[in-house]
Amino acid sequence: MPQNHALVECVPNFSEGRDAAAISRITSAMAAVDGITLLNVDPGRATHRTVVTIVGAPEAIVEAAFQGIAEASRTIDMRRHAGEHPRMGATDVCPLVPIRGITMAEVAQLAHRLGERVGQELEIPVFLYEEAATQPKRRNLSVIRAGEFEGLADKLADPEWLPDFGPARPHPTAGATVIGARPFLVAYNLNLNTTSTRRANAVAFDLREAGRVVRTNGASGDIVRDTAGEAVREAGLLQGVKGIGWFIEEYGIAQVSLNLTDLQRTPLHEAFEAGRERAAARGMRVTGSELVGMVPLAAMVEAGRYFLTRQERSLGVPDEELVRIAVRSMGLDELAPFDPAERIIEWRLRDPAMSRLIDLSVADFTTTAAGETPTPGGGSVAAAVGAFGAAMATMVANLSAHKRGWDELWQTYSEWAERGMGHATTLLRLVDEDTRSFDTLMAAYRLPKGTDAEQEARSLAIEAGIKGATEVPLAVMREALASMDVADAMARSGLPSSLSDAGVGALCARTAVRGAWLNVQINTPGLRDRTWAENALAEGHAILATAERMESEIVALVEQAIKREG
């Protein structure tokens, strides 16, 4: 999907988790809408519920959500539905989530439009919640859903619970639907080594922000009320977290089911750790956990960093390794395989049609570069060599962080490794960016030039294309030079047996700088904006001089150390 277009996520929860054919009909109805990507379908037998994740442009999302709700109303009969999860309709809840290029207020308006259409065309009563709510008391989903499907007729008969859209009576088979706008929510379950729903609920009450109602004599006592007659509550440990306990017959265990509504206030790993501690305090153990639907990459990376820090291990590793540590540490694959490529939203959104040079093997990259096409060219190769150089310096930092006897220095080396990994990651991105900038420039040269207006438009496009094709190698030069700071630090104080690798890192970095400099030089003569061109040349020349000086110093340090060791 184009990176500059507005993107909305929709996560409808359908009250069907056992009939694969029925689930397929619902998801197919949504996926058939142009501009929609079906990211994930997560059915649960015990909950008798399927969580679907789709993303797309705003208008496409509204259409796809409507088609899913319509198909669910034809497919699911709530009169015969029973499951562990609270529910009030065939499409129990349908939240819209802003992902990119759109505000929460705009998404709330989309929710209003969707709700109005569902109410009018499908005659399903619709309640609006969270940021789309029309009344403060309807912001909370659990308040709207209280009484569930079985109590829906009585609820709708109450003038205070007239639906926002649709008739004031339940749809005979589809019940009612809750539609809203909310921030990204992570549905996260903790697996317990017990079958007791009561004990799972006790842990949920310990954790969730709403906590528990205070009673005079424990769970069996009278509710304590304040002067206004409202029940007094004891707050839970975790902010922005909702939770209940339930028994999952499919797995033969009880779970603490949590909704993390604000990952800034309560990250994934903090929920896991707090749950583990509270379960242990109540004589139980968290054996693993389960993510329902999709999760942001940042949440998994942050969790991986947390667990590596607890181990006093270096954090200067790729995101893929941080995710692997998070999955293992939280037992996300205990109940079923956890495939990060399918469950992490940013990774799932990668366009498979867009092949990337950095996804090729070294052999394939080499043969591709040797082919009869101008890309990948010297700029991409320079960036790749720079990435290798940063990786070498990072490796020395990681090895130094884990050296026996250097335990008090692990954090210092970890910080160097993180810097090096950051440079390597940026340089890898620039491998493909250089090729894309060249392709953009070539497209500008192919623009029509039959009229004066076309010639002017073509000229402007070429000028912008040349600047882009110059800016990328300049960025390679900056990043490769910055990575030499890591190589220098490792040459001075890194693991003695790996100092040669720090030297290789410096040599690669200097090669990347020199190679990218050639690309800057060959592009700038074609620019009409001579001030911009001269500034680019001046910056590039200064970077080159510094890189050559640093290379000489680092290689000298390494060679002296090798002689001493010899």
Which tokens in the block code for residue 408?
Answer: 């008090």
Digit-coded pLDDT (tens) for 369-386: 888 888 888 999 999 999
Q: What pLDDT does residue 64 have?
A: 97
Binning pLDDT at 50, 70 and 90, where does residue 565 land? confident
Structural Rg of the chain based on CA atoms: 29
Average pLDDT of the segment spanning 101-119 = 96
User: How much is the mean pLDDT over the chain?
Assistant: 92
Question: Which contiguous run of DSSP H or E holds residue 10?
Answer: strand 7-10
pLDDT value at residue 216:
81
Render pLDDT for 204-233 as a digit per residue (tens, 0 to 9).
Answer: 999 999 998 888 876 667 788 877 778 778
**Which position has the token pair 């989903």?**
141
Q: Which of 278, 266, 82 is nearest to 194 (CA)?
A: 278
pLDDT at 354: 58
Structural domain spans, the chain: 7-181, 186-348, 357-565
CB 116 within 8 A of CB 125: no
* pLDDT category of residue 1 using cuts at 50, 70 and 90: very low
Q: How many percent of the chain have pLDDT more than 90?
A: 78
**CA separation for the pair 301, 319 (Å, rounded):** 6
Enzyme catalytic residues: 85, 434
Give domain 7-181's CATH architecture: 2-Layer Sandwich (3.30)
CATH architecture of the domain covering 186-348: 2-Layer Sandwich (3.30)
If pLDDT is split at 50, 70 and 90, which confidence band does 566 have?
Answer: low
What's the token pair of residue 145?
A: 């859903």
pTM to 2 decimal places: 0.77
pLDDT at 83: 82
Q: Which of 360-364, 455-459, 537-541 has the lowest mean pLDDT?
A: 360-364
Beta pairing class for 91-100 and 177-181: parallel
How would you classify residue 229: left for phi > 0, otherwise alpha for psi between -120 and 50, otherwise beta? left
Pairing of strands 49-56, 186-192: unpaired
Residue 3 predicted with pLDDT over 70? no
Residue with tokens 């009320």, as numbered in its chain: 225
Structure tokens at 524: 């700038």
Pick the more confident residue, 418 or 345.
418
357-565 has which CATH code?
A: 1.20.120.680
Give the range among 56-60, 224-228, 302-306, 486-490 with minimum mean pLDDT. Answer: 224-228
Contact between 65 and 126 (Cβ < 8 Å):
no
Q: What is the pLDDT of residues 417-468, one digit of tens each?
A: 999 999 999 999 999 999 999 989 999 999 999 999 999 999 999 999 999 9
